[in-house]
């Protein structure tokens, strides 16, 4: 799971505000994986960045694996 979360910032870099991207990176590298995923989802939802169904499902899977609520993915702009 750690590798999956640490890979997220680069994967979504072009779709996040630079400050939000820094927050995601810092949380991921500090081992705060739940915070990293939460910050990522919040940043994507705030900017209405396009997210694929597969990406949303991966984020939900990560949240579920960490025992966190998956409902926060409902605000994502799903395209494809």
Question: 56-65: which pairs have CB atoms within 8 A and are 24 or more residues apart?
Answer: 58/4, 62/1, 62/4, 62/5, 62/33, 62/37, 63/34, 63/37, 65/1
| Neighbouring residues of 27: CB distance < 8 A, sequence distance ≥ 6 | 33, 35, 36, 39
User: For the segment 48-59, what is each residue's pLDDT rounded down to a tens digit?
Assistant: 999 999 999 999
User: For the segment 9-52, what is each residue's pLDDT rounded down to a tens digit?
Assistant: 899 999 999 999 999 999 999 999 999 999 999 999 999 999 99
pTM of the predicted model, to two decimals?
0.92
Residue ranges of alpha helices (H) inside the chain are 2-11, 18-29, 33-47, 53-65
């Amino acid at each position: 799971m750690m590798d999956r979360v640490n890979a997220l910032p680069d994967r979504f870099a072009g779709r996040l505000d630079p400050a939000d991207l820094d927050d995601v990176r810092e949380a991921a590298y500090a081992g705060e994986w739940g915070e990293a995923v939460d910050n990522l989802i919040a940043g994507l939802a705030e900017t209405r960045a396009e997210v694929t169904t597969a990406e949303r499902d991966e984020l939900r899977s990560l949240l579920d694996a960490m025992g966190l609520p998956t409902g926060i993915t409902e605000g994502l702009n799903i395209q494809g």
